[in-house]
Amino acid sequence: MKWPQLAALAASALIVQGCSTALFEEQNINEEPEAFFKPVEQEVDPIAPMVLRVVGYGAMEESKNRTSVQRRLMAIRASKMDAYRAMAERVYGTSIQGSTTVKDMVVQNDRFRTYVETYMHGARVVSSDVMPDGSVETVLEMVIDQGFRNCLQTMDSQRFNVDCRAPLSGGERASQFAASQRQRVQSEAAMPEGGFYFIE
């Protein structure tokens, strides 16, 4: 191919490219800036509320100092407390604190304990039944909706988030109690040098 033909091809390619660039720039100038920031019109399907049910158990105390009515009421109360504990474990999980002592590469003792500490709001007792053997079974249920899930996903758990729980009665005393409990839990979790481990 001769040099004049190469020069003609190069010139025509530059002209075509220049025209397309100018046309693209003209289109961009004519378009409104808001066209680049169009909102995405898509509705997210809400998560259906989920109903959690747990069962708590209680036993009647064998005592001659209390009447049968008192023993039955105390067993019902114990079953309710056990149901609340089971609900808290299912919703928030169980904290496990343990320690292991090793001497001369031999485990001397290994112990752990579990505890649940939280505020329960929105749970209701469905039924409390006295069984034929004298024990009591209490059914507790709680509705977990989208708002509750959002609160559980926050960095600060619902037990300390004032936006995610109903205000407690007691005013200043309740807030002081919540602050003291938070300080205690945080101080316990900040002691790795003490040989303790925490599983959330």
Q: For 49-82, what is each residue's pLDDT tens digit?
A: 788 899 999 998 887 788 888 989 999 999 999 9
Region 160-166: mean pLDDT is: 50
Please, which residues have CB within 8 angstroms of residue 100's CB and are 6 or more apart in sequence? 107, 109, 110, 111, 195
- Could you tell me if residue 144 is inside a domain? yes
192 within a domain of the structure (yes/no):
yes
pLDDT value of residue 143: 86
Give strand pairing partners of 52. 142
Sign of CA dihedral 82, 87, 92, 93: positive
Least confident range of 56-60, 80-84, 95-99, 144-148: 144-148
Q: How many of the other CB atoms lie within 10 Å of CB of 114?
A: 11
pLDDT-based confidence at residue 138 (cuts at 50, 70, 90): very high
Task: Give the tens place of pLDDT for each residue, 23-43.
Answer: 445 555 555 555 555 555 554
What pLDDT band is residue 185 in, cutting at 50, 70 and 90? Answer: low
In a domain, 93, yes or no: yes
Per-residue pLDDT, 93:
78
Whether residue 1 has pLDDT greater than 60: no
The answer to whether 84 and 120 have CB atoms below 8 angstroms apart is yes
Let me know: does 58 contact 136? Beta carbons within 8 Å.
yes
Tell me if 16 is assigned to some domain: no
Q: Indicate the number of domains in the chain.
A: 1
- Span 142-165, average pLDDT: 62
Distance CA 64, CA 111 (A): 37
Domain for residue 78, yes or no? yes
- Residue 166 inside a domain? The answer is yes
In a domain, 11, yes or no: no
What is the extent of the structural domain holding 123?
Answer: 50-199
Is the separation of the CB atoms in 139 and 57 below 8 Å? no
Neighbours of 158 (CB within 10 A): 20
pLDDT band at 195 (very low <50, low <70, confident <90, very high): very low
CA atoms of 157 and 171, how far apart (whole Å): 21
Q: Stretch 138-157: mean pLDDT, rounded?
A: 73
Assess if residue 190 is contained within a domain. yes
Which residue is it, tokens 């002691």?
191
Asked if the model's pLDDT at residue 139 lies above 90, the reply is yes
